[in-house]
Amino acid sequence: MFKKITTPLDEQLIQELKAGDRVLISGIIYAARDAAHKKMTDALAAGEDLPFDINGQVIYYAGPCPPKPGMVAGPFGPTTSGRMDRYTPALLDQGLKGMIGKGLRDAAVIDGMRKHKAVYFAAIGGIGALIASTIKSLRTVAYEELGAEALVELQVEDFPAIVAIDCTGRDLYDSEPPKYIGKFEECINEEKVLL
């Protein structure tokens, strides 16, 4: 069962979300990859404002592919979140409340999530076309010169994700793999018996 949630995220909702919850996100989210994150953190270091109000917002670690006729966006799958880890604590300090991507986060990011009550959602790699179908509008907010790595505002409806790390620091990437150690070998052995 999926929980339907709406952006921007407030602290009460964030505290209700637990690692392992499946969600459908609707509202505005922002898409940005490495180059846009570098520009944002450079701006903060220079005492400048960010190009959007980050309070309560969610950033999706992704860049769009060109759309087919009649589509708002082309396939829009997640990129590896760890590439943003060096930039994320500064954005959490500014009020970022959610991130969507794939893969592990480092200890500094998880500490920042605990401190600022934020959540990390995992998007499923390989379903970029399905994700694109949840995007109802797309507009470039800043850094247009970066092309597919520009900062983009997305209006989404029922964007599917899983709470991978909740605001207490509970992390599916830590808790789930041990449950499956040895399962692959068991399946192989069962297959051999059946043959």
Contact 32, 40 (CB under 8 A): yes
SS3 of residue 169 by DSSP: coil
Residues 6+ apart with CB under 8 A from 96: 54, 57, 58, 59, 88, 116, 118
Cα–Cα distance between 116 and 167 in angstroms, integer?
Answer: 8
Does 8 sit behind a cis peptide bond, omega within 30 degrees of 0 on the bond before it? yes
Which two tokens mark 112? 């920042």
Cα–Cα distance between 165 and 139 in angstroms, integer?
Answer: 28
Task: Give catalytic residues, as residue numbers.
Answer: 37
Alpha carbon 121 to chain centroid, angstroms = 5
Q: Strand pairing partners for 25?
A: 5, 159
Residues 6+ apart with CB under 8 A from 170: 18, 19
